[in-house]
Amino acid sequence: MTDTPPSATDWVASYAGLLGAEPPSSAEVDTLLELAAVAAHASERIAAPLACWLVGRAGMSPAQALELARTVTG
C-alpha cells in the first residue's frame, strides 16, 4: 500500500463528482491557471483562488473571465 496522494487531475475529478459537476477540460484548466496567475500578479496571491471562485459564481466561461481579468486596474 502506498501513501502517495492523488494527482491534481484525479483529485479535481473526484471533487467534481462529489459536487455533481463536470471536471474542467484540459483547456479550461490551462485558462483557469492563467487567470489565477493574472490575478495573483496584478494584486496579492489571495486574489487567485477568489478570482477562480468568482468565475463559477458568475457562470462565465474561464476564457471570458480571463479576458476581463486582464482589464482590471483596481
Residue range 13-67, pLDDT digits in tens: 999 999 999 999 999 999 999 999 999 999 999 999 999 999 999 999 999 999 9
* Chain-centroid distance, C-alpha 31: 8
Within a 13 Å sphere around the CA of 6, how many CA atoms are in the beta-carbon half? 8
pTM of the model: 0.87
Higher pLDDT, 3 or 26: 26
Within a 13 Å sphere around the CA of 59, how many CA atoms are in the beta-carbon half? 0
Q: How far is CA 58 from CA 7, 24, 34, 47, in A?
A: 28, 16, 18, 16
Q: What is the pLDDT of residue 2?
A: 73
Q: What is the pLDDT of residue 1?
A: 62
**Cα 66 to Cα 69: distance, rounded to the nearest angstrom:** 5
